[in-house]
Every structure is written in C-alpha cells, then in structure tokens.
Amino acid sequence: MKKYLFLLLTGLTFGIAQSQEIKDALRYSQDNLNGTARFKAMSGAFGALGGDFSSIGINPAGSSVFSNNQFGITITNSDIKNNSNYFGTTTTEKDNSFDINQAGGVFVFHNKSLNSGWKKFSLAINYENNNNFNNSTFSAGTNPNNSVGNYFISYANGVPLNILEDSFYENLDHGTQQAFLGYQGYVINPTTSDSNNTQYTSNVAEGGNYYQENTSYSQGYNGKLSFNAATSYKDRLYFGINLNSHFTDFRQSTVFYEDNNNALDSNYRVTKLQFKNELYTYGTGFSFQLGAIAKVTNELRLGLAYESSTWYNLNDESSQKLIAVSSNVDGDLPNDVVDPRITNVYAPYKLQTPSKVTTSFAYVFGKSGLISIDYSIKNYSNTKFKPENDSYFSGLNTNMSNTLDNSGELRIGGEYKINKLSLRAGYRYEQSPYKNGITIGDLTGYSAGLGYNFGSTKVDLAYAYAERDSQQGFFSQGLIDGAQINSINNTVSLTMLFEL
C-alpha cells in the first residue's frame, strides 16, 4: 500500500544527485547581443574598431582606441514574444523587462615621451548583462500518442517497489524522486505486488488524445564584470587583456497540466494531472580575453581576439509538487497530492563553457563613416560539466560532445556621420549550437540606431530585432514531445556617454 495520499513535509535536503541537462549548459554558454546602444545598433561588429565600452567585451585591445577618459551607462527595454505550435495548436506568450544592462568607465594615460613608441595606456572597468533570463512560454495542444505517465514510468522501471513504498522523498536521488512522485501520486502502478518488482504501468486512462499544457516562467541574469588593460604602439598596433568575473542568478517555474476523457474501466485511472517544478541556479565564474588590433592603413583595421572558456561554480536548488485526479473514485475523496515541501539542495558543481575566437575587419571612410565585419566561432561540443569522473556528468558530457557542434556568428555593422549626427545599422547571423540545427535553430537579427555628439556628452539610441526557432521538449525522457517555438526579441537601448 502506498504510504500516503498527501505528502506534506517541510525542509531542506542536501545531496550529490544531479539533474542537469544540455539546455542548462547552453543557458550559460550563449550570450545575447547586449551592451551600449552604438554597439547594438551596429549588431556588435566592433572587433577591429574599439573605442566603445562593449567593444572591449569582443576585443580587449579596443579600450586603447579611446582618446579621453569616459564614463557610460546603458538602459534597455526588452520585449520577447514566443509563438508556440504544439500538435497544430498555436499559442503566444510575451514578456517585457527593463534594466541597466551596461555601465563602465575608461581611463586613458598618454605617454609624452618623444623617444617611445608606446604612446598610450588605458585601464577600464565595464559591467554588462550578457544574458537577460526574463522569459515566458505557454504551449497547449492535444497529444495523440503520449501521456506524462510515460515520464514517471521511464524513471520507475528498474527501481524496486519497496524503495518507492518505504522511502522518503528527501532521501532519494533525482531520478528515483521522479519515480516516487509518480507512484505516491497513483500515476503509475507496479506490474506485481512483489516488493522486488521493478516494472511499472501507467494509471492514466488509455486511448490517446491527451490535452496538455506547459507553462514556463523564468527570470534572472548572467552578468560579466570586466577589468581591462590595453596599450598602443605608434597608434598602429593595439593590445589588450580582460580579466572577467561572471555571476549568474536564474529562477524558473514550470507547470505541466494534462487531462483526457478516454474510456474508463474498473481499475483506478488518472484523468487529470498537474506537475510543478521550481529550479534556482546561482553561482560565479571566471574567464579571460586577449586581443589585438592592427591599423594597416589609416582606413583599414584588422582585429583578432581570443575569449577563454568560462569556468563556473554553480549551485542548484529544486522543488516539486504533483496533483493527480481520478474520475472513477468516490467524489468525496481528495485529489492525490504529493507535495514534499522539500527544497533539494544539490552539491556544488562546475561548468566549463567553450572558448571563442573572433576575427574582425573594418574600413573607415575618414570622418564620414565606416563599415565593420566580425566573425566568431565557438565549439559547443567542448562544453563540460565537472567533476568529469562523476558517472552522471561523464554520460552528459559525452552526449553534449555527440549532440553539439561548432557555431559561427557573423556580425556586420555600418555608420554614417552627418556633422554631429551618426546613423547606424547592422546585421547578425548566428548558427545553431546543435548538429541537427533543430533543437535550437539559427538566429537572424537586424538593428538600427542613431547618436548625437554634444561635445563632452554623447547620446545613442538603438533598436535591435532577433528571431530564432527552437524545439522545446517539456521533459528530457518519457514524454519527449515538444512544441515548436518561434522567439522574437525586440530591444530598445539608450546610452549616455560622458567625457571626463
């Protein structure tokens, strides 16, 4: 007999079990196009230009292009629209957020010695919100094949019945916890009553046509604080280095709902189910960057930059709740609620993101304008969870190596000046990090903006558009059917720059 219909405990549980997935690694490996308004208006094509706070994040040699001390701050409004298609049913969810996504200062020191070619040295500090995690998706539709009962069965098969009957949620690893929830919520049943039984069947009424909804809300950020030093030689060669401190805070709440009106029989059958999951991830990281810019002629500039892996130290906390309803039991009986009220606090772990190399080209048309092109490449298959000798992480790392691929990113930007007014535009294309190109598709983006130079103060305004398709699976196993998501991100940024 099951231990309880209602499981109402409160507390924390600490363990070493892991529940990370590939999407968790990519969350901290991918960067959005954030930064100053000028940078965004030109789609981030600044690797060979410098002279902009966000350009330092592409090529650290860029700070030595500044002529004077400067301070800058950027505010951004981001609007994300997610269009979902799940088995032919379309839904839309929107999210809007406002934040200070960039702030920095640069100090330029001039060497007046006539005998030295090293004419300039700069120190800079810059903060950027590399990724805004505020997002919402809602998917709904009728699945003709699979029920969420298969999710719980996929974890339960192989687990002895006595463990699911006699254990407490907080004493189990993540996978066994999923089996425990399904069993204690009467969603699954053992094939035999033997305590050593390891096979299970679903109590969800069979016959297909399972109406399902999946709602996901997330919030948080992935910030980077860069400490920069750069120098120039004869105003022709520029060299720089960044030491970056990363910090991340991510919260996600997902609610999955399923119901069906399939034919009932004399056995206990689940007709409605709600499954809620909460995840909180936080941590810090470190990376470094090296870069160089060559002014080949007064018009032609070339850039080369290397960004190391980011080495994160991360922590996860999670909680779950399951509610199941049967239509062939006494109506006075309560729903089957499994609410441990337990926060799983997992052992800290490490994540190593892939490194990136950027090559850049820029052509400056005197004081009238410029065109700039950046191309970056990042091999996502090198992403690793650590410790690598952990059996779970070892299998996950192998899966990422086989699933993820090299991803190239092309950024093109241009600027045209009319006296003190600057007009800007850009284009951005980023390849999928997946070999199949479907789980997360290619990204296409456009941008435009303008700026005005008041002398010691500059004001820049930018609009950026980005679109990407993805296939969002609700669960990683058992019920792997997912929705087709079309994400459209519109951002408006305003930067104020002050020469000191």
Residue 265 makes CB contacts below 8 A (sequence gap 6+) with none
In tens, the pLDDT along 132-160 reads 999 999 999 999 989 999 999 999 999 99
Predicted confidence at residue 390, as pLDDT, reads 87
Parts of the chain with a pLDDT under 50: 1, 3-9, 16, 331-333
Tracing tokens 């995840």 back to the chain, one arrives at 279
Residue type, 311: W
Give the CATH H-level superfamily of domain 7-147+206-430+460-499: Outer membrane protein transport protein (OMPP1/FadL/TodX) (2.40.160.60)
Which residues on adjacent β-strands are paired with residue 459? 452, 496
In tens, the pLDDT along 260-318 reads 888 777 778 888 999 999 999 999 999 999 999 999 999 999 999 999 999 999 999 99
In tens, the pLDDT along 406-426 reads 999 999 999 999 999 999 999
The two tokens of residue 108 are: 């330029």
Predicted confidence at residue 6, as pLDDT, reads 44
Predicted confidence at residue 329, as pLDDT, reads 54
H-state helical runs in 199-285: none
H-helix or E-strand spanning residue 84: strand 70-86
Predicted confidence at residue 427, as pLDDT, reads 98
Full DSSP string of 212-245: EEEEEEEEEEEEEEEEEEEEEETTTEEEEEEEEE
CATH 2.40.160.60 segments of the chain: 7-147+206-430+460-499
pTM score, whole prediction = 0.92
H-helix or E-strand spanning residue 184: helix 174-184
Predicted confidence at residue 114, as pLDDT, reads 65
- Three-state secondary structure along 157-178? CCCCHHHHHHCCHHHCCHHHHH
Q: How many CB atoms lie within 10 A of CB 409?
A: 19
Contact 140, 251 (CB under 8 A): no
Which residues in 111-209 belong to E strands, given as ranges?
A: 120-132, 135-143, 188-190, 200-202
Predicted confidence at residue 14, as pLDDT, reads 62
